[in-house]
Amino acid sequence: MHIPDGFLSHGINAATFIISAGACAYGVKRVNRNFGEREVPLMGVTAAFIFAAQMLNFPIAGGTSGHFLGAVFSSVLLGPWASLIIMTIVLVVQCLGFADGGLTAIGSNIFNMGIVGSLGGYSIFFILYTLFQKSRKGFFIALAISSWLSIVMGASAAAIELAISGTSPLKVALPAMAGIHAIIGIGEAIITATAVSLILKTRPDLVTSYVPPTLPSPSRGEGEGGGGKEVFHEKSS
């Protein structure tokens, strides 16, 4: 989904650059507010994982490939604003170091994958998780849907930018982009849910968005509440 130079008009690039820079400035301020000794290395390792995982293109139908984005993944771990910062740094490094995504399109790429992906994706996750009354099952359903949507929405934003730039009309670009990324998004949902469930099993305290279901008594907690039990022990130790 990394847009190269030449696809978008300068007007779009300038507008998204200013929006992205403003959002990052606010993001830095927000992150600053609740940042402790623990969060910095966590942010580093999350970014490193996202960068490595983004290299792993998996094949989908019709000679096309897709790769993990990690916007919802990092949002659920560290919060949407920290996720925006991570996505921004990853995108800038990919652009400057690896010629992946254009330099003039950097604002648009941060907008599509950071603002739409992280902030938009997390908003949807949060709404769904709340609707599911913060149950464990609801957490994973919300996670899968929001990470799928983060890809589809990001791709749709890219299609709209392409259309405004006059590169490809909206009625051509939007179905094509959303269509392909609806398939890639399934990969995103699977990877995100798997990775988060692994972290939840080993270090549930690191998934800041997860609210462990309150248990009636510490002795119970078999089956569905298995994860919750671990959480309980984590907190009491």
Partner 1 sequence: MKSRLDGFILIGLGISLLLALFLSPYASTSPDGLEKVAETKGFSEKGESWKHAPLPDYSIPWIKNKKVSTALSGLIGTIAIFFIVLGIGRLIKKNRSKKILLLILLSYFISLALTLTSAFAARPLTTDDAGTVEKGVFQLELGFDGIRQDNHGRELSPSLILSYGLLEQMDLGIGSGYLFFHPKEGKKENGFADTELKLKYRLIDEKDWRPAFAITGPLKIPTANESKGLGSGEADFGINAIATKNLSKRLALHLNLGYTFIGEDHVDNALNYSLASQFILSDKWALVGEIVGVNNMNRRHGDDPLSGLIGTYYLITDKIIWDAGLEIGMNKAAPDFRFTTGLTLLFKP
- Which residues inside 163-182 make contact with partner 1, applying CB under 8 A? 167-168, 172-173, 176-177, 180-181
Query: Which two structure tokens, joined as six digits, stand for 208?
Result: 């800041």
Task: Please identify, using beta-carbon distances, which residue of 38 and 233 lies nearer to partner 1.
Answer: 38
Residue from 113, 114, 96, 86 nearest 23 by CA: 114
Answer yes or no whether residue 85 interacts with partner 1 by CB under 8 A.
yes
Place of tokens 């995103």: 188
Q: Position of tokens 């603002």?
A: 115
Helix or strand holding residue 59 (H, E) = strand 58-60
Query: Any idea which residue has 């800038």 for tokens?
Result: 92
Interface with partner 1, residue 65, by CB under 8 A: yes
Residue closer to partner 1, measured from CB, 62 or 223: 62
Chain centroid, CA 81 distance in Å: 11
Out of 29, 220, 233, 235, name the contact with partner 1 by CB under 8 A. 29
Kindly tell me which of 15 and 141 has the beta carbon lying closer to partner 1: 15
Residue 94 burial (CB count, 10 A): 18
Q: How far is 104 from 10, CA to CA, in rounded Å? A: 8
Choose the stretch contacting partner 1; rule: CB under 8 A; options: 51-59, 117-125, 135-143, 211-219: 51-59
Q: By CB under 8 A, is residue 231 in contact with partner 1?
A: no
Q: Which stretch binds partner 1 (CB under 8 A): 90-98, 128-136, 142-150, 225-233?
A: 90-98
* Minimum CB–partner distance for residue 114 and partner 1 (Å): 13
Which 194-213 residues touch partner 1, going by CB under 8 A?
A: 202-203, 206
Q: How many Cα atoms within 13 Å fall on the side-chain side of residue 54?
A: 21
Asked if 218 touches partner 1 (CB under 8 A), the answer is no
Cα distances (angstroms) measured from residue 9 to each of 15, 23, 81, 108, 161: 10, 21, 28, 10, 8
Q: Does 74 bind partner 1 (CB under 8 A)?
A: no
Q: Which is nearer to partner 1, 49 or 126 (CB)?
A: 49
Applying CB under 8 A, the span of 52-60, 126-134, 208-216, 225-233 interacting with partner 1 comes to: 52-60
CA distance 23 to 17: 10
> Does 126 contact partner 1 by CB under 8 A?
no
Q: How many of the chain's residues bind partner 1 (CB under 8 A)?
A: 84
